[in-house]
Amino acid sequence: MAQYRIEKHPILSIPERKIIEFSWQDQHFSAQEGETIAAALMANGIHIFGHHHKDGNPLGIFCANGQCSQCMVIANGRPVKSCMETIEPGMRVQPNDGLPVLPPASEHTDFRALQEKTVEVLIIGGGPAGLSAAIELGKLGIQTLLVEDKHRLGGKLVLQTHRFFGSMKNVYAGTRGIDIATRLEKEVRQYPSVEVWTRSTVLAVFSDQKVGVLRNGQEYTLVCPQVLLVTSGAREKFLAFPGNTLPGVYGAGAFQTLVNRDLVRPAEKLFIVGGGNVGLIAGYHALQAGIGVVGLIEAMPECGGYKVHKDKLIRMGVPIYTAHTILSANGNGRVESVTIAQVDADFKPIPGTEKSFACDAVLIAVGLDPVNEFYTKAIDFGMSAYVAGDAEEIAEASSAIFTGKIRGLEIARALGKTETEIPTSWQKTSQILKSRPGQIFLEQHPDLHEGVIPIFHCNQEIPCNPCSGLCPNGLIIVDQNDIRQIPAFIGNNYSCQVCERCVAGCPGLAITLVDYRGNADLPLVSIPYEFSREIVTAKDIVTALDTEGNPLGNFEVVDFHTIPSSDRTLIVVIEAPADLAPSIAGIRIQENPITQPMTQYVHHVADDTIVCRCEHVTAGEIRALIRQGYRDINEIKTVTRAGMGACGGKTCASLIHRLFREENVPVNEITNPSKRPLFMEVPLGVFAGESKEESH
């Protein structure tokens, strides 16, 4: 079977890995050593991992984060989450069709005493907030245990190929997320007082103020911390629509994990639901990986993410449909198309506006919820507990880095390890980094047609200042007291040295350089470019677009180069008429045919929409109970099993609330379900100290 691997990438290096063999349904396939079972299956074009026990519908990967069981398979006779389990040579993998049969228990067991570990600080989560806090604690020699469930540190940073926004001084702005993760991990590991457990999962916080940790997936330990810091990030929200459980419907994090971590191409043509930063960035990552992006929809009148992210997609040829919703994902066994429609002021689909698009994947990026259950439970049990990053408040990774730094110093003060006060400027910086996108201004172009002029195509207030730090002569300024201000060029048209550092280093790819010196009528325009050299080469004819994606004409590429500080960003130079040159913001990457709707929209045939992915409970089943008078979601759970699956009700609870709203049930009449922080399936023998061989 053909391999669906990413063999070339403009930003990521492609490592050489040992090839191993495994079997799927008794057929032999190849995999790369160290990758997950899910990545190996997807790389071999296998998208259906099993079938649901309730309705027999096909199941595929959805979250790639271990928080659901959509990707469960039977590996060497054991049911495992394929997104979390590493492939092994000779491994026999079978689909999980129906309820898995557990392996027989050992007749003779060798139990070990339960291990306990005392630490000053336990940090749950090795993402940007947890790493930054650990660095501050490590500097002061505070005994710290950092627990991360993935095989490497960095959290979602390890999935981000783009440069980060924010402050260059405080949060590595202008550096790619993948490189920030490497820098933070390297710094953490230099402090002897900080111990790191990767591939380890926190399972529960107990009333005796101990924390249960599954170390390396096989050893259970009770950790007794003086202080608990929760930096466990966020989980993605879900949407209820017909076809939402088809293989090929991915959470944004799962898609980025497959593409940017596993270097697997899970789709050829992608459709995106959600216009926040997560959805917009995922679209850009798809294009970089050679995956076509058919379109993006956002229910609100405007995208909620940074305008520069939206602009990047538009000028690369991706249509964005605001005030639109998804009606269904369609297909037989996996996604084959998607149907959307325009919505009115009440977010109701407008009849007659339906359109369908051919695609083989639908990416859901409709917001995040904090993973804060361990923090709230710790507070309930009277522990000294702190929270930072997305577990505290959903914001950008730059904000998580800085809030983690603040929490680290706060914890050190609480432990009496330092008397250093938290600078008041830190709190102000933290609030700026958390701020939502601000005012949008009309794009202004200088009325100058000689010399060299940088053009800023970023016209929205967002926290970002790398351009001001990149200019060697200080000719670009951003208010350092409030880095949300729009940048300005304070030089004259003969002061720029054409170093192009601002062009290559802008996180939003939103700066171009117009050079009138050679020919004032046909100036040269320098454009940032982060795609394969095979797409655009010298002498090619490219379509130039403005900030809003409007085509300005077709022009020849006269130069194609890098600069010493470009960090994998290439610079394409075209020659364009003087009246158009300042408006050119980018070049089209993908052509129109992939983005055209089908001639007729597809009616999805389904009895009802799945609300609970884990147990395949439909909206109709729950709505019937609400109409019978059910108001306690725990009672609905006992009747339908909604919320009793592997994710612990964390995905469907908000959708059930939506059904109550649609049935006009007041919020004060609804009883919320009991929260279940535990979401990992663990063999019972592990808790008893059974050896690995016996527990298998």
pLDDT tens digits, 572-583: 999 999 999 999
How far is CA 30 from each of CA 1, 316, 557, rounded to the nearest angstrom? 10, 35, 41
Domain layout of the chain by residue ranges: 1-103, 115-234+370-434, 452-594, 608-696
| Block residue for tokens 């071999």 | 44
217's tokens:
């997936």
pLDDT digits (tens, 9 = 90+) for 165-191: 999 989 999 999 999 999 999 999 999
Sheet containing 324-330, strands listed edge to edge, beginning at the edge strand earlier in sequence: 324-330, 337-342, 355-358
The mean pLDDT value for 200-218 works out to 93
Can you give the pLDDT at residue 691? 57
1-103: CATH topology is Ubiquitin-like (UB roll) (3.10.20)
pLDDT digits (tens, 9 = 90+) for 127-141: 999 999 999 999 999
- The pTM for the full model equals 0.93
Same fold, 1-103 and 608-696: no
The mean pLDDT value for 448-455 works out to 88
The kind and range of the H/E element at 362 are: strand 361-364
Can you give the pLDDT at residue 485? 93
Residues, the chain: 696
How many Cβ atoms sit within 10 Å of the Cβ of residue 606? 14
Average pLDDT, the chain: 91
How many Cβ atoms sit within 10 Å of the Cβ of residue 382? 9
Decide if pLDDT at 675 tops 80. no
Given a contact cutoff of 8 angstroms between Cβ atoms, the answer to whether 344 and 333 are in contact is no
**Of 242-246, 262-266, 595-599, 649-653, which range is least confident?**
649-653
Can you give the pLDDT at residue 178? 96
Query: Going by DSSP bridges, is the β-strand pair 211-215/92-97 parallel, antiparallel, or unpaired?
Result: unpaired
User: How are the residues of the chain apportioned to helix, strand and coil, as percentages rounded to the nearest 5?
Assistant: 25, 25, 50
pLDDT digits (tens, 9 = 90+) for 365-409: 999 999 999 999 999 999 999 999 999 999 999 999 999 999 999
Decide if pLDDT at 593 tops 90. no
Can you give the pLDDT at residue 692? 54
Name the maximum alpha-carbon separation found in the chain.
Answer: 87
pLDDT digits (tens, 9 = 90+) for 18-66: 999 999 999 999 999 999 999 999 999 999 999 999 999 999 999 988 8
Decide if pLDDT at 104 tops 80. no
Nearest CA to 428 out of 466, 483, 388, 389 is that of: 483
611's tokens:
């609300």
115-234+370-434: CATH topology is FAD/NAD(P)-binding domain (3.50.50)
112's tokens:
């070990």
Decide if pLDDT at 696 tops 50. no
Instruction: Tell which phi-psi region holds residue 290, choosing left (phi > 0), alpha (psi between -120 and 50) or beta.
Output: left
| Block residue for tokens 């938290």 | 422
| Amino acid in the structure at residue 407 | R
Decide if pLDDT at 290 tops 70. yes
Decide if pLDDT at 605 tops 50. no
Q: Give SS3 for 390.
A: helix
Can you give the pLDDT at residue 167? 93
Can you give the pLDDT at residue 450? 86
564's tokens:
């010493």
Can you give the pLDDT at residue 2? 63
How far is CA 73 from each of CA 29, 55, 257, rounded to the nearest angstrom? 16, 17, 19
What is the DSSP secondary-structure string of 52-117? -TTT--EE--S-SSSSS-TTEEEETTEEEETTTSBP-TT-EEEEEESSPPPPPPPSS----PPEEE
Quote the Cα angle for 646-648-653, to 5°. Answer: 125
129's tokens:
């907030």
Strands annotated E in 179-290: 194-197, 201-205, 211-215, 219-230, 234-236, 249-251, 269-273
Half-sphere exposure of 437 (CA within 13 A, CB side): 17
User: How far is the C-alpha of 366 from the C-alpha of 654, rounded, in Å?
Assistant: 12
The mean pLDDT value for 143-163 works out to 94
Quote the Cα angle for 29-35-36, to 5°. Answer: 85
User: How far is the C-alpha of 227 from the C-alpha of 223, rounded, in Å?
Assistant: 11
Decide if pLDDT at 606 tops 60. no
Local confidence band at 660 (pLDDT 50, 70, 90 cut-offs): very high
Given a contact cutoff of 8 angstroms between Cβ atoms, the answer to whether 598 and 330 are in contact is no
Local confidence band at 101 (pLDDT 50, 70, 90 cut-offs): confident
Bridge partner list, 464: 166
Sheet containing 249-251, strands listed edge to edge, beginning at the edge strand earlier in sequence: 249-251, 361-364, 269-273, 292-298, 320-322
User: How far is the C-alpha of 453 from the C-alpha of 495, rounded, in Å?
Assistant: 9
608-696: CATH topology is Arc Repressor Mutant, subunit A (1.10.10)
Decide if pLDDT at 492 tops 90. no
Local confidence band at 109 (pLDDT 50, 70, 90 cut-offs): low
How far is CA 127 from each of CA 133, 171, 181, 226, rounded to the nearest angstrom? 10, 14, 8, 21
> How far apart, in Å, do the first and last CA atoms of the chain sit?
31
Nearest CA to 329 out of 411, 397, 260, 242 is that of: 242
Say what percent of the chain tops pLDDT 70: 97
The kind and range of the H/E element at 501 are: helix 501-505
Strands annotated E in 540-658: 541-545, 551-561, 570-575, 586-587, 610-612, 617-618
The kind and range of the H/E element at 513 are: strand 511-515
User: How far is the C-alpha of 145 from the C-alpha of 385, rounded, in Å?
Assistant: 14
pLDDT digits (tens, 9 = 90+) for 322-345: 999 999 999 988 999 999 999 999
| Block residue for tokens 């009449």 | 669
